[in-house]
Amino acid sequence: MNNREIAIVAYVYILICLAVFFTFINIEHKRTINSLNIHKEQLFEAKKLVIELADENDALYGAVDGLNTYINKMDKLDRLIQDLESVPRKERNKTLANCYNETNLTYGAVHKGPYDKTTIGICGVKTAWIDVIPELTDHNIDSLYGGYLVLSHLEKQEGSYIKGLQKYKGSIKNQAPVQHVLKLENLIKGS
């Protein structure tokens, strides 16, 4: 064999080796692409699962918030019922109507008027009444009982329920708040 034949055989051998090498690289490349596609699909499925779990988590948090709101409302209703039991039965409608008119039955309400900064609580009682009515204290001023005590005191002092309510509301000339309380009282009575 001469040099030329050896060179041709070497070229053919190199071409065969390169063909085998590139075939293996091509096969490996296809395997890598397939593996990446599989991982891409798995990643997509994982993303979908994470989104579904996040949605379920949000729904659960929403449900918990709803339950907490419901529990808070029930606690407030329980407090109102216990508080209402301290008011004499025949005065409950008046007290509820008056206090609802003041704060929509919200405990801890602070009434910010331009002239008076001392009116507080569920029934809008002025703190000055603590010195006037012996049964009224710092502990029961924010209660239906506190509102009942002040309204009852004013009713006795003024000689009638309407006049006492007018003084309670500070509405000697403006009768709208008093009329609203009377309407609420009739609604509570069911008449």
Q: What is the pLDDT of residues 38-51, one digit of tens each?
A: 888 888 998 999 99
Please tell me the chain's helix, strand, coil percentages from 3-state DSSP, rounded to the nearest 5.
75, 5, 25
Q: What is the pLDDT of residue 115?
A: 66
Mean pLDDT of the chain: 88
The whole-number pLDDT of residue 174 equals: 80
pLDDT at residue 63, rounded to an integer: 92
| Amino acid code (one letter) for 141 | I
pLDDT exceeds 80 at position 111: no
Q: Quick one: pLDDT at residue 157?
A: 92
12-26, 43-57, 165-179: segment of lowest average pLDDT: 165-179
DSSP state of 91: G
What pLDDT, on the 0 to 100 scale, is given for residue 8?
87
Check residue 191 and give its pLDDT. 57
Tokens encoding 65: 């918030």
Tell me, rounded to whole angstroms, the distance of Cα 55 from its chain centroid: 19
| Confidence band, pLDDT 50/70/90 cuts, at residue 154 | very high
Please answer whether residues 154 and 126 qualify as being in contact, where contact means their C-beta atoms are separated by less than 8 angstroms: no
- By the 8 A CB rule, do 98 and 73 touch? no
CB-based contact 82:88 (threshold 8 Å): no
Quick: pLDDT tens for 113-136.
666 678 888 888 888 889 999 999
Greatest alpha-carbon span in the chain: 140
